[in-house]
Amino acid sequence: MPLAKPGVLLISPGIIKWTDADFGLPHLVSLGGYLEQHAGVRAELLDLGYEGGDLAQLSRTLDALGPFLIVGVSCYASYDLMRVMALARFLRRKWPEVTLVAGGYHASALPGDLVFDGSPFDAVVVGEGELPMLRIVKERLAGQPLSAQRWGPENITNLDELPPYRWDLLRRYWPRATSIGRKLQIVLSRGCPYRCTFCMERAKTEYAWRAYSPERAIDELRRLATFTDLSQFVVNIADPLFGFKRRWRRQVLEGILQHQVVPRQFWTLTRSDDLDEEDVSLLGRARFSIGIGLESGSPTMLQIMQKGNTPERYLEAIERLARLSRTHGLTWATNVIVGHPGETPETLRETRDFLKRLFLSAGETCGWLSIDPFRLYPGAIVHEQMTAWSATHGTRFFHPEWWKSWYDGAFRAQHLDPSHSLDYEARVRFMHDEYAPIVREIAGRFRGQGRSVDRVFERSLAEQVRQLEPDARDDLLRRAKRAQPDRAEERTVIAVPIGLQVKDPHVRRREEAVRRVLESGTLRTEGLVEALLLTAPEPFLGEEGAAAMFADRVPQLAEGEVPPYLPFSWLVTALEALGPLTGDTVADTTARTGYVSALLAALVGSAGRVFAVNSAPASLAPSLAGVPQVTVVRGYPGAPPAVDLDVVYIGGALPRFPKAMEQALAEGGRAATWLGPRFRPQDLVCVQRTPGGLVERRLARLQAPVLSGPGAWLR
């Protein structure tokens, strides 16, 4: 039997988004095909956003696909950094000898975030992946240690030298492709010659625009059309800048018409500067919709953003597009960035007035508007020159390394004061109060194509309206008031992949809560992270109880009643202090629902024992029947089971630490509970038994429900 080819696994971590996503992964499809052709390896592609399943299923999938010589992980966006590092640590733990390589936009912008002392990654690729990864693979095939940690940039000059897209590398996903995403991605060109200050494209591909020849581009589209039924998809030509050269653009569009490569719709990003009536006509007949980065209607801001040499001509070009699109039936969208460094109240008003002329001067429009806050992205000119922007415009960046945060990256990325005369709150209020009416009026005037694809455009319009609602505005302002400076210390290191089941609303809510306490520093222990992620509270607490716990709400109870849950951050604080270990004997003395007992069982493992104490054991036993380490016993919060205990959790307030509990603790044993007044906040404490007696450590001051029974407030 011939030996199997050495394997290279290319992983996308997916995105934390539960609506339809794009399908296709053209960057990894291209890279996998290139490595198979030039290195003779077997390439496998895995997208965790497409996979679904839990950690156990992921591990089984990896075992079935392996073995592998090299695993490459795409840190495509800065939002992915912390999840990519967690995934890499999981992979390193699973495969200690496999070479791990990172790539993508964030890796290209800040390679030091991926490779450093103690990193699970062996190497990072800066720029495009084909040439650097080929050299890495050849070194490993030769049995050599890697000669460098950073590889590239080394970009492909002639894209026609690349092998055809190997769409069969996505064979795991094609049977359900349309349920994964209605947009199918392909890339026909790379790079962008423009130097927009807010864009991180330059970190990946620098400034050279390179494209397949028009003949090759048409051939790739035709091959894709033979591989799958394009009538089911909006085909997203995901180039940084489609059709930079007019002749290339027109040849490609004419080829699409000649060969009748007709998907449900094409979508791509381009500029309006170079589009005349012939271009608009071709785009409309070829079933294109185009996205235009207007970014601002203020000539001052366009100069600051480096959007063209002559702002007035730039604005005239998009007004021309708006007129021509109505004649030729071309649907289009434009994006405006609000709050870019240097923005002022005056420039905001200029943009507002321009948008009214652009969209509302005629009775109908074929375009729609996307309003986005400025976000700080690594690799962009703004990021590289933050000190200069602050000195020149008074910009204040509240979270200059927001991508190293576990939680709320979308907010942190936009949280800044744009200028001396415009702070964050004023920017948010103007964006929502002044631009929202324009977006709503556009939705009422929009004219689609009279086909089913109009629903796609209508959903985009509705989403823009929703994002500018007063509730969304008020939520951003509340977050800004609560925002704390980024923590200087190292974030908690975990080796549990996050985002595997993001389409499950329960998992999504649980992961969001875990990321929040990770970011606050409350959660620090890897084993506890894993237990919290893998133990679903809904079977124990019900839908409403789980939601209330994760929202940190204190349950309203009759005095003395054992609470079904306590706020999530309180529980995490207590369990962090207790630190249950594998093999420990532990007790949950307030086991009304069994959720904490199940968490403790996950922490102590199969070698440990958990006693779930309840005054009516029969009511609790069914929910814990599938957890073999747990024994349900009759008792009360202050009355432990008659065994030596390493850890005790008491989820409520007592007047003092019970003598019976002290005697039940083994040497070195620990208990967490609330001690103090009946009607005022108490101390959440961790009590440890030492040879010299009990040692008490205060963790927080919180008002917990008071308990009843022996040793409790109420007898």
Whether the Cβ atoms of residue 290 and residue 345 lie closer than 8 Å to each other: no
Residues 188 and 221 in one domain: yes
The answer to whether residue 383 sits within a structural domain is no
Residues 23 and 80 in one domain: yes
Residues 128 and 250 in one domain: no
The answer to whether residue 418 sits within a structural domain is no
Task: Write down which residue in 244, 270, 296 finishes a domain.
Answer: 270
Q: CA separation (Å) from 687 to 233, 579, 584, 588, 692?
A: 61, 12, 17, 15, 13
Q: What is the CATH number of the domain that holds 83?
A: 3.40.50.2300
Give every CB contact of residue 714 below 8 A, 6+ residues apart in sequence: 559, 560, 706, 707, 708
In this structure, which amino acid lies at residue 307? K
The answer to whether residue 567 sits within a structural domain is yes
Report the pLDDT value the prediction gives residue 1, as an integer from 0 to 100.
37
Q: CA-to-CA distance for 588 and 178, rounded, in angstroms?
A: 47
Residues 82 and 149 in one domain: yes
Mean model confidence pLDDT for the chain = 92
- For 142-185, the DSSP string reads TTPPPS-SEE-----S-GGGSPPP-GGGGTTTGGGHHHH-SEEE
The answer to whether residue 692 sits within a structural domain is yes
Question: 488 phi and psi, to 5 degrees?
Answer: -75, -30
Compute the Cα dihedral for 374, 77, 520, 500 and give only its sign.
positive
Task: Enter the DSSP assignment of 422.
Answer: B
pTM, to two decimals = 0.91
Residues 231 and 149 in one domain: no
How many CB atoms within 10 Å of residue 693? 9
Report the pLDDT value the prediction gives residue 552, as an integer from 0 to 100.
96
Residues 566 and 696 in one domain: yes
The answer to whether residue 302 sits within a structural domain is no
Report the pLDDT value the prediction gives residue 180, as an integer from 0 to 100.
83
pLDDT-derived band of residue 2, with 50, 70 and 90 as boundaries?
A: very low
Whether the Cβ atoms of residue 246 and residue 189 lie closer than 8 Å to each other: no
Instruction: Report how many domains make up the chain.
Output: 3
Residues 236 and 151 in one domain: no
Q: What is the pLDDT of residues 346-371, one digit of tens each?
A: 999 999 999 999 999 888 999 999 99
The answer to whether residue 451 sits within a structural domain is no
Whether the Cβ atoms of residue 60 and residue 25 lie closer than 8 Å to each other: no
Report the pLDDT value the prediction gives residue 435, as an integer from 0 to 100.
95
pLDDT at 654 over 90: yes
Report the pLDDT value the prediction gives residue 135, as an integer from 0 to 100.
97
- The residues with which 613 forms a beta bridge, in sequence order, are 633
Task: Enter the DSSP assignment of 205.
Answer: H
Residues 134 and 47 in one domain: yes
Report the pLDDT value the prediction gives residue 637, as an integer from 0 to 100.
86
Q: What is the CATH number of the domain that holds 225?
A: 3.30.750
The answer to whether residue 634 sits within a structural domain is yes
- The residues with which 292 forms a beta bridge, in sequence order, are 270, 334
Task: Write down which residue in 226, 246, 270 finishes a domain.
Answer: 270
Residues 36 and 99 in one domain: yes
Find the angle CA(282)-CA(183)-CA(190) to the nearest 5 degrees.
65
Q: What is the CATH number of the domain that holds 630?
A: 3.40.50.150
Residues 103 and 223 in one domain: no
Whether the Cβ atoms of residue 468 and residue 429 lie closer than 8 Å to each other: no
Q: What is the pLDDT of residues 173-226, one digit of tens each?
A: 999 888 888 899 999 999 999 999 999 998 887 778 999 999 999 999 999 999
Residues 148 and 210 in one domain: no
Residues 126 and 234 in one domain: no
The answer to whether residue 678 sits within a structural domain is yes
How many CB atoms within 10 Å of residue 682? 21
Task: Write down which residue in 270, 285, 316 finishes a domain.
Answer: 270
Which residue, chain included where needed, has tokens 């423009």?
Answer: 194
Q: What is the pLDDT of residues 425-460, one digit of tens each?
A: 999 999 999 999 999 999 889 988 888 778 888 888
Report the pLDDT value the prediction gives residue 86, as an integer from 0 to 100.
93
Q: Considering only CA atoms, which of 220, 238, 224 is closest in space to residue 183?
A: 238
Q: Which residues form the domain of 80?
A: 7-159
Q: CA-to-CA distance for 476 and 464, rounded, in angstroms?
A: 16
Q: Considering only CA atoms, which of 459, 472, 567 is closest in space to residue 513?
A: 567
